[in-house]
Structure 1
Amino acid sequence: MATLSLRRARTMIRKAFEHARGAEMKPMAAVVLDAGGNMIAFEREDGASPGRFDIARAKAYGAVMLGMPGSAQMARAEAQAYFIACANGALGGGLVPVPGGVLVKDSKGVVLGAVGVSGDASDNDAAAAKAGIDATGLTAEV
């Protein structure tokens, strides 16, 4: 089974931050988790609030644990709030079901993990995460 390396995780974060700076976004925090929800890497830009770690991690964690990116979680929460509430309870309250939690897949569609980004508007967070993933040659499911 393929896995995400620390080197690739660091590249994802660096490229996500480069994207954010180029788009003049607010300071970011980014987390890369493996397919089991374990943290591989985390960084917080200067000026990003300390709580951004928890939010970025929760975005990535929800994507991995539910097998759906934050955008799909948000749609599910709007359609079936009870499901997301129950899933959040089952997963220890560790979900933030909004864009910015992006699944990382290999060329065969196998989930390798997720990137969670927090700092700007959720759609901007997701775009930064996607840019980071794209830079490694893997596939982002936003």
Structure 2
Amino acid sequence: MTNLAKLQPGDTLAEVQLAPVSRLDLIKYAGASGDFNPIHTIDAEAEKAGLPGIIAHGMWTMGNLSKLFTPYHEEGFIQEFTTRFAGMVFLDDVITLKAELTEKREDCSLFDAFAEKQDGTRVIKGKVKFYLYNDEEYGFS
């Protein structure tokens, strides 16, 4: 696994590809988040709203974007995370998560992160500030 502290601007994290979006994913997320808007779970309601079918919760996609940084939890943590929703995610879409290091500072790394559908359409664009632990500060050797 890559050590984040050794990355240089322009380097990328390993991409994460999610399983195709399923109705069950969205039902579980609705229960966990409390967002029971029926456009996320009921076809007829989504169509009544002018959509071609149910759409994933934007926050479901955003939450998944943080999976890019899960392998690095021993090196630090996400200190800031901002996103802009740029497109809709439908059932059976396959989402790929990507991040590129844009700036390296003494105590953190700044990334552009995004999620894109199988056709290359970006559905979320984000910025992540990942704070890096100082080995001496935390007693690591």
Q: TM-score range by the shorter chain?
A: under 0.3
In terms of fraction of residues, the more strand-rich structure is: 2
In terms of fraction of residues, the more helix-rich structure is: 1
TM-score (norm 2): 0.27
